[in-house]
Amino acid sequence: MKRRAYKLLVVALGLALLGGLLWLPPPGQPGGPVHEHVAARYVEGGTEAAGAPNLTTAVLLNYRGLDTFGEVTVIFAALLAALAVLGVGAAARNASGTGKPRVDARLPASPVVNFIIRLMAPFMATFAAFVMIQGDVLPGGGFQGGVVLGAMMILLSVAIGPDRVSGMVAPAPLGWLRAIAPLVFLVVAVSGLALSGAWFGLSDQPALGHALMVVLELAIGMGGAAVITGIYLSLAREVE
Amino acid sequence: MLQALFSHIDYVAVTVLFCAGLYIMIARGNLLKKVIGLNIMETAVFAFIVTTGMIDGGDPPLLEQGLGPDFASPLPHALVLTGIVVAVSVTAVALALIVRVKREHGTIEFDELGEPR
Amino acid sequence: MIEAFNPVVLFDLLILVLLIICVISIARTRDLVRAAILFSVYSLTLCLLWVHRGAPDVAMTEAAVGAGVTVALFLVVIARVGRRER
């Protein structure tokens, strides 16, 4: 009875949405309003103004740098919220569970899984670094490389255990490593005032602007990888 | 009417996905299923945003030799990249809250959670 | 309507139909591990859709985030809370 009411409500909402969407111009035509005003300026003047042949990275880091700053702050805040909810360190160990002795979270993974993960991990790290550094010429960029690196750390924690992975970086530098993306963004934003006269303005000389873009991408990548690994480890060390 | 429906077939599919995600979120009692439904709704919205920027037979927005004059618009791509990051952040916080609810109350079914004590 | 049946449009329709089948299967299953794996399949098909729409950056991010990190987080939480849904 309640299921039927929910289904009717969802179908009614779907028909209302569809009635609105059919008024839009059909997708795929080059003359639509999304290609006209601002995007046309980005496509035509993109490379000279922003210094990056990859237009998406140019939009993300140069034209809409403030939105990317908000994005890295959001994912860092998510890590803080997850740690606050679950408890860190001794608080987590005391609070979790019903008093049973804490079993090692890693089930004995089969030797095939262990071997494949240990074989693939260096290649994944190299690919992540390549995607991060070449992000302004080829498709890719900072966050893509960072997520691939974070996925590699998750796989490693399946193979060698979450305690060993979280012991790879000492706790004091780990805090700075997780916060590196918002901090570097803030430094580049303030230095943009000195270099080109506008907040977030990567400088007018193309070489310095290119170098600043690579620095930003590396910061986003490393910060994203550290945050994703931190979220996974805080959940994985809860399992008993 | 039918011609309009067929030329906007991408928008119809996105609407079906969004409504299916919404149904999963409101009609199932398990908290983890609700989080999966939320993710489906979010990805349906991203599909809509990228679809508005595409060009039939166009090229990805990279300025290299060999890629023609018709570029897919880069603005929706940047918007969706930020959206994907926000979606994974929301999912991470929701999963941490689910683990905490299980620890405190012993169940994650919405009907069994009861009144706050 | 008849003139639109070339292979590109058929590929597009096939991807969209696969997405809808994945979502309906997620709605009907009661096993949470099966729902997580189906969500990974959904995310990978969505990555194919991005490549078809000319968005390679979004495709890379969706493949790594949706099919990798999100499903890994789901499976870790399922190990904590239990597999069946009532």
Q: Is the pLDDT of residue C19 over 70?
A: yes
- Angle, in degrees to the nearest 10, between helices A180-196 and A65-86: 160
What's the pTM value of the predicted model, to 2 decimals?
0.90
Compare B96 and B73 and report the one with higher pLDDT: B96
The verdict on a CB contact (< 8 Å) between A43 and B86 is no
* Euclidean distance between CA atoms A202 and A211, whole angstroms: 9
Closest by Cα among A83, A64, A71 to A231: A83
- Count how many Cα atoms sit within 13 Å of the Cα of residue C40 in the half-sphere of its side chain: 15
C7's CB contacts (< 8 A; 6+ apart) are: none
Whether B46 contacts chain C with CB within 8 A: yes
Closest by Cα among A132, A117, A157, A158 to A217: A132
Domain ranges of chain A: 53-236
Residue B117 lies in a domain: no
C-beta of residue C82 within 8 angstroms of C-beta of residue B104: no
Amino acid making up residue A88: V
Region C55-79: what's the mean pLDDT? 91
A157's CB contacts (< 8 A; 6+ apart) are: A106, A164, A165, A229, A232, A233, A236
In this predicted model, what pLDDT tens digit does every residue of A32-88 receive, in sequence order?
A: 777 777 777 777 766 566 567 788 887 788 888 888 999 999 999 999 999 998 877
% chain C with pLDDT above 90: 62
Q: CATH number, domain at B77?
A: 1.10.287.3510
Residue B45 phi/psi, 5-degree rounding, is: -65, -40
Q: Is the pLDDT of residue C2 over 80?
A: no
Q: What is the DSSP letter of C70?
A: I
Region B100-109: what's the mean pLDDT? 84
Question: DSSP states of B50-117 as a string?
Answer: HHHT-BTT-B-SB--TT--S-BPPHHHHHHHHHHHHHHHHHHHHHHHHHHHHHHHHS--BHHHH-S--
Residue B55 phi/psi, 5-degree rounding, is: -125, 135
In this predicted model, what pLDDT tens digit does every residue of C36-64 receive, in sequence order?
A: 999 999 999 999 999 988 889 999 999 99
pLDDT at residue A42, as a whole number: 73
The verdict on a CB contact (< 8 Å) between C42 and B43 is yes
Interior angle at CA A139, CA A136 and CA A140, nearest 5: 75
In chain A, where does DSSP find H-type helix? 2-21, 37-50, 55-58, 65-86, 90-95, 111-133, 142-160, 162-166, 171-178, 180-196, 206-236
Whether C68 contacts chain A with CB within 8 A: yes
Residue B63 lies in a domain: no
Name the domain count of chain B: 1
Q: Locate tokens 């490379």: which residue? A: A47
pLDDT at residue C22, as a whole number: 94
What ipTM does the predicted assembly reach?
0.89
Residue B99 lies in a domain: yes
The verdict on a CB contact (< 8 Å) between B4 and A59 is no
Chain B segment 78-117 residues within 8 A of A by beta carbon are 78, 81-82, 85-86, 88-90, 92-93, 95-97, 99-100, 103
Closest by Cα among A128, A150, A141 to A231: A150
pLDDT at residue A100, as a whole number: 44
Amino acid making up residue B23: Y
Whether A45 contacts chain B with CB within 8 A: no
pLDDT at residue B38, as a whole number: 95
The verdict on a CB contact (< 8 Å) between A239 and C76 is yes
Q: What is the dihedral sign for C-alpha B22, A34, B57, A136?
A: negative
C-beta of residue B21 within 8 angstroms of C-beta of residue C23: yes
In this predicted model, what pLDDT tens digit does every residue of A160-214 receive, in sequence order?
A: 888 888 888 888 888 888 888 889 888 888 888 777 777 777 766 777 778 888 8
Closest by Cα among B43, B86, B52, B49 to A67: B86
The verdict on a CB contact (< 8 Å) between A239 and C61 is no
Range of the domain at B6: 2-58+70-112
pLDDT at residue B97, as a whole number: 93
C-beta of residue B12 within 8 angstroms of C-beta of residue A18: yes
Q: How confident is the model at residue A103 (pLDDT cuts 50, 70, 90)?
A: very low
Residues from chain C that touch B77, judged by Cβ atoms under 8 A, are 55, 57-58
pLDDT at residue A89, as a whole number: 62
pLDDT at residue B72, as a whole number: 80
Q: Is the pLDDT of residue A237 over 90?
A: no
Domain ranges of chain C: 30-86
The widest CA-to-CA distance across chain C, in whole angstroms, is: 53
- Which residue in the set B20, B54, B78 is minimally distant from A64, CB to CB? B78
* Euclidean distance between CA atoms C47 and A206, whole angstroms: 34
